[in-house]
Amino acid sequence: MPETPRQFSRRSILGTVGAAAVGTAAFSGQAAAQPSKYETINIVDAGADNTGSESISSVLEDVIGDRRRIYFPPGEYYVDEGVRFTDFDRLWLFGDDATIVPAPADEFAGEDHIFKLGTHYAPGDWLHIGDLTFDFRADNTGLRAIQAQVNDCYIHDIDFVGQHDAGTHGPMLVDVVDEDSIAAVDRVRMPDGGAWTKNTGRDGDPVVEWGPTGFIVSPHHEGTLWVRDCVVGGFPDNGLYDSGAGGTVVVRGGRFENSGTASIRLDGDGSVVDGATIVVDEPQNGVAQQGIRLDGGSGCVVNDTEIVLERPTANAITVRNAVDSAKISDTTVRVLDDGVDGAITVAEGAGSTLIEDTTVELDASGQAIEIEPGNGDVVVADCTVIGNGSGASGGREAIVCARDDTVFRSNVVEQPGDDYRRALGIRADNVTVSGGRYEATHHPIIVDGDGVTITDVTAESYDGYEAVKIVSGSGTRLVDNALAGGYTR
């Protein structure tokens, strides 16, 4: 039996994360940020009003240019029309206690963006933006403040204050167009989220159908983007969304809350979520709000992450069918109410998946881990499932396995819940369960498949049922186990 899934060894996992970490130490455009390479312009000296009384849009249009470093001194800057600048070599925008205030959507001229810097067909080469606040607190404000499609960038310390409520695109889009570049976005905060379009004046241009995404990475992204220590509140259409499979997004740290579809949604080889906190405690319009959704790619990783579903409407982590290989490790999931099918779900058709050193606390019905059919190897090792989950609805077993050849190794499952709660349900062939401890109110282990092997396992029913029940299937092997009450057919 495989020690780890094929195509996803421990060495390859560590290599993926390690290589990206080296990249962030000196990502490729860092040298381009040297002030001496720019003409520095104080935007107030250039004629911009910093009291918020007059629009600075015309001044922005005048001062923005190649190899320029544009400084926003303390104050408020009113903007009623955006600026578009493409195919540049270097550009740097930075503030000092500077707040940009957009006009309401029905007064904003043209497409609703403040800074549209580069396009996928004419990207900027190097972009640096830092230390700016965008104020969306007024009614009918909220627009795309930063749209950056560049070969390389460093964007940091950006605050979005107030709810995005204009019914148009979300606050931020970043694409790294150069496939060889590693760029970074650090400490971007948009905690107040966005409004559903139906609840807005729909004056934005363009109007989005459901509502905005907080931070989107488009299908034109081809490089590697690190997203570090960011805060994204509840948006109707995903919080952080990598919407294409061409490049890589690595999420490091940060807090993500209450977004529709998923708080973090990634697609692409080497996608990583490491050290993040995800919370769902405010349902939105009855839509599914997953914690993390992995849509596709190989070598995808969720590591050292905490997910708390206080008022869940969907899974904590979903590995979808276009994922070739994934690892979930050192992660904690807490489900405090009903609303999940499987807290961690490996979807039908998903590829090789390793779940290890992960704890699921399930104080609700449903599954802690759900493994659907498919050909990729799945290994669940050194995991812990606890909590008072009930067998009343959503399936009786805390872990349910419908994939042939799955391996369970050295796991601990404690399920004292009512309504015939069980620990592990095997509904597949050639599954191996080795080591570990399985305890539940009803039969801890249910076998409904051929060629199942259970070895070196301790299992006990709190209510005195047999430890193992073989419902159907032939060739079940029970070797060197400590099964309280034995087994039954």
Q: What is the pLDDT of residues 360-390, one digit of tens each?
A: 999 999 999 999 999 999 999 999 999 999 9
Reduce the secondary structure of the chain to three states and give it as a string. Answer: CCCCCCCCCHHHHHHHHHHHHHHHHCCCCHHHHCHHHCEEEECCCCCCCCEEEEECHHHHHHHCCCCEEEEECCEEEEECECEEECCCCEEEEEECCEEEEECCCCCCECCCEEEEECCCCCCECEEEEEEEEEECCCCCCCCEEEEEEECCEEEEEEEEECCECCCCCCCEEEEECCCCCEEEEEEEEECCCECCHHHCCCCCCCCCCCCCCCEEECCCCCCEEEEECCEECCCCCCCEEECCCCCEEEEECCEEECCCEEEEEEECCCCEEECCEEEECCCCCCCCEEEEEEEEECCEEEECCEEEECCCCCCCEEEEEEECEEEEECCEEEECCCCCCEEEEECCCCCEEEEECCEEEECCCCEEEEECCCCCCEEEECCEEECCCCCCCCCCEEEEECCCCCEEECCEEEECCCCCCEEEEECCCCCEEECCEEEECCCCEEEECCCCEEECCEEEECCCCCCEEEEECCCCEEECCEECCCEEC
Taking a C-beta distance cutoff of 8 angstroms, is the pair 295, 321 a contact? no
> Is 57 part of a structural domain of the chain?
no
Averaged over 165-191, what is the pLDDT?
A: 97
Beta bridge partners of 361: 334, 386
**Does the pLDDT of residue 8 top 50, yes or no?**
no
Q: How many C-beta atoms surround the C-beta of residue 219 within 10 A?
A: 14
**Does the pLDDT of residue 10 top 70, yes or no?**
no
Task: State residue 15's pLDDT score.
Answer: 45
> Is 355 part of a structural domain of the chain?
yes
Task: State residue 30's pLDDT score.
Answer: 54
Task: State residue 33's pLDDT score.
Answer: 66
Taking a C-beta distance cutoff of 8 angstroms, is the pair 102, 132 a contact? no
Taking a C-beta distance cutoff of 8 angstroms, is the pair 156, 199 a contact? no
Task: State residue 247's pLDDT score.
Answer: 96
> Is 373 part of a structural domain of the chain?
yes
**Does the pLDDT of residue 395 top 90, yes or no?**
no
> Is 132 part of a structural domain of the chain?
no
Residue 173, judged by CB atoms within 10 A of its CB (0-12, 13-18, 19+), counts as: buried
- Residue bearing tokens 């996992």: 13
Number of folded domains in the chain? 1
> Is 15 part of a structural domain of the chain?
yes
> Is 336 part of a structural domain of the chain?
yes
Least confident of 21-25, 91-95, 241-245, 303-307: 21-25
> Is 338 part of a structural domain of the chain?
yes
Q: How many CA atoms lie within 13 A of 415 on its CB side?
A: 37
Task: State residue 32's pLDDT score.
Answer: 63
Task: State residue 438's pLDDT score.
Answer: 98
**Does the pLDDT of residue 176 top 60, yes or no?**
yes
Confidence class for position 2, pLDDT limits 50, 70, 90: very low
> Is 146 part of a structural domain of the chain?
yes
Per the omega criterion (within 30 degrees of 0), is the bond before 444 cis?
A: no
More confident residue, 38 or 21: 38
**Does the pLDDT of residue 445 top 70, yes or no?**
yes
| Residue range of the domain that includes 336 | 10-33+140-488
